[in-house]
Structure 1
Amino acid sequence: MIKIEGIAAFVAVVESGSVSEAARRLRMSKSVVSERLADLEKTLGGMLLHRTTRKLTLTQDGTAFMERALRIVHEIEEAAADMAERRGTLAGPLRIAAPVTFGRMHLGPALYPFLARHPEIALTLDIDDRRVDASSEGYDAIIRHGPIADSRLVAWKLSRSRRLLTASPAYLDRHGTPATLSDLDDHRGLFYTNRGIADWRFQTPTGAIVVRAKLAMGINNGDMLRDAAIAGLGIALLPSFIAGPAIREGRLVEIDVGYRPEAESVYMAHPQGRNPSAKLRAIADHLKKAFGDPPYWDPAG
């Protein structure tokens, strides 16, 4: 008979890419995960994974089994959570990915009181600026800032957002304050590399215009991008949730070039085709209220 524990171990190994990472996620030893995986393969009568010293890859049988194994694990987790929710309790595992700076500055402080009120939710929060694949990497949802490009995701808007063109007072004293989009061509730009150097997009009556300032520095972290702007290294296009406090404190100045950057939002998205759980909906509703409308971090608000 196939044991559910073996299926769960197999899914965790495939999603995480290694036995050691699967063991960390499941909170058990590597030897136990390996034993459960071996027992599953013995019961099924075939190899599910190719094992080398460097990586694990699915066999043809493993690829076929993985699709159903995912459904089985997800259905069991949801069934257990549904029973708890019928008793008026939000419970069960939940895995969410979110960007580093937003997670540290706003998501964490908003989530902590919610989780304290619902101690039976087992939340795994992965903080990473890379664009994760919610469907293939086993996330219940992702939280992101910006446009929604993946058509396989169903998005819930958590908050309005906008990006602000900012620089330090010292930088503007040295280089002058740009007043038009064309003025930006002569300025030093600080760019968030996860979105590329063509990231400065402004909405005009004739459509979107991309502005490319001179590259002074590219950074893949929002905190460091803000700090580089505060240090006077150049102009940065920052989300208001990062720039807001620095603008209110006078360490950064918002620059008006006649047009606003393209509108964006903070959103939670879950894979299409999955029925989102009550606990995921409850977290989304809580975050909407916690962030406010307009959001509390917006300097204009």
Structure 2
Amino acid sequence: MNAFVRIVDLGSFAKAAEDLRVTPSALSKLISRLEDRLGVRLLTRTTRRLAPTSEGSLYLERAREILELIGRTEADVSSARSQPKGRLRINSSTGFARQTLLHAVPAFLHRYPEVSVDLTLTDRLIDPVAEQVDIVIRGSPSAGSDLVVRKLAEGRRLICAAPSYLERAGTPLSAADLEKHNCIALLSQSPTTWPLAAENGLVRFQPKGTFSCDNVGMLFDMAIAGQGIVRLADFVVGQAVREGRLLEILTDINRSDTISLWVLMPKGRFHAPRVQAFLDFMEEWLKEANSADVTA
């Protein structure tokens, strides 16, 4: 198409061949093959004149439109390297989304105004390929062979409660004290235990209370409402602790192994500029949040 347009624009096979850096004979053969494939003559050629036929004029008009569209498309794709754009589809657990993404996503969109975000919330692990999601954020690195897995951040689990609850029920100072408190635990098939240091070594405290739930976001809401004590990842409760809406307790006996936050991505979307921009932004955001925790 480009060769045909250049021939018509320059009015000569010789000039078009020079412009395209091919020989006139090669260019002539190219147009002949194009005409044979279409089954029509596109150009009328004489010793003094070259002009498109009626079919050639129609082909010329459509070819210009197509070439212009290709040019714009390539320009858009190239510019996306330096300026991410397009729709980013994210799936997250409810607790992380409501307490961290709630604050991070608006800042991300402000930095990258040409990106839009579709956010879905589920606590079960989904297949990002089947669900057509760019990024899945979870606390588990399990993935299929067709996925890219990347660690986003490391953290720990905090034991905390709302100031209103502690004023009403008192602040526990030991594992034995926790037996007297309403502990809000994650509902799961295997019993949930909290590793705590005691005089005779490490104990696995089994939280008991009037409420349990399989949704981390709901556990957080109940704690904020002053309904009891929770032990949740700092990815979930960190912002509330920094703001004083929750108070971290039992810091000297809480034994939390390092926990990781993972992202799962389809291999074909891992290198998309909008995906890379979001991952880099979230690593920076979480690092700053952890620094604030250390400073506090």
Asked whether the two chains share a fold, i.e. TM above 0.5, the reply is yes
Corresponding position: 1:198 with 2:191: yes
How do residues 21-36 of structure 1 correspond to structure 2 at under 5 angstroms?
A: none
Matched length: 221
What is the alpha-carbon distance in structure 2 between the residues aligned to residue 81 and residue 106 of structure 1? 35
Corresponding position: 1:253 with 2:253: no
Residue 120 of structure 1 and its aligned partner are, at CA, apart by: 4.3
1:156 alignment counterpart = 150
Judge conservation of contact 1:199–1:210 (CA < 8 Å) in 2: no
Judge conservation of contact 1:190–1:218 (CA < 8 Å) in 2: yes
Pair member with larger Rg? 2
Judge conservation of contact 1:159–1:294 (CA < 8 Å) in 2: no
1:219 alignment counterpart = 213
How do residues 25-104 of structure 1 correspond to structure 2 at under 5 angstroms?
A: 83-85=77-79, 88-104=82-98
1:29 alignment counterpart = none
Unaligned stretches of 5+ residues in structure 1: 1-78
RMSD: 4.0
Corresponding position: 1:167 with 2:161: yes
Distance 1:219 1:86, change over 3 A: closer
Judge conservation of contact 1:186–1:214 (CA < 8 Å) in 2: no
Residue 223 of structure 1 and its aligned partner are, at CA, apart by: 4.6
Corresponding position: 1:239 with 2:240: no
1:283 alignment counterpart = 278
Distance 1:243 1:283, change over 3 A: closer
Tell which deviates more after alignment, 226-235 or 133-142.
226-235
Distance 1:243 1:114, change over 3 A: closer
- Counterpart AA for 1:138: Q
How do residues 111-150 of structure 1 correspond to structure 2 at under 5 angstroms?
A: 111-144=105-138, 146-150=139-143
Which aligned runs of 4 or more in structure 1 are off by greater than 6 angstroms?
A: 79-82
Judge conservation of contact 1:197–1:212 (CA < 8 Å) in 2: no
Judge conservation of contact 1:244–1:297 (CA < 8 Å) in 2: no
Distance 1:173 1:158, change over 3 A: same
Distance 1:117 1:226, change over 3 A: closer
Judge conservation of contact 2:192–2:207 (CA < 8 Å) in 1: no
- Counterpart AA for 1:202: P
1:269 to 256, 264, 267: 264
Unaligned stretches of 5+ residues in structure 2: 1-72
Judge conservation of contact 1:94–1:140 (CA < 8 Å) in 2: yes
* Percent of aligned positions that are identical: 34
Residue 190 of structure 1 and its aligned partner are, at CA, apart by: 0.6
- Normalised by the length of structure 2, the TM-score is 0.57
- Normalised by the length of structure 1, the TM-score is 0.57
Residue 149 of structure 1 and its aligned partner are, at CA, apart by: 3.6
Distance 1:300 1:179, change over 3 A: farther
What is the alpha-carbon distance in structure 2 between the residues aligned to residue 247 and residue 210 of structure 1? 24
What is the alpha-carbon distance in structure 2 between the residues aligned to residue 108 and residue 170 of structure 1? 24
Judge conservation of contact 1:165–1:238 (CA < 8 Å) in 2: yes
Tell which deviates more after alignment, 132-141 or 280-289.
132-141
Tell which deviates more after alignment, 124-133 or 195-204.
195-204
Q: Secondary structure at the match of 2:89?
A: strand
- Counterpart AA for 2:195: F
C-alpha offsets along residues 142-184 of structure 1, whole Å, 9 cap, x if unaligned? 123x343446553333333222111244544565544444554
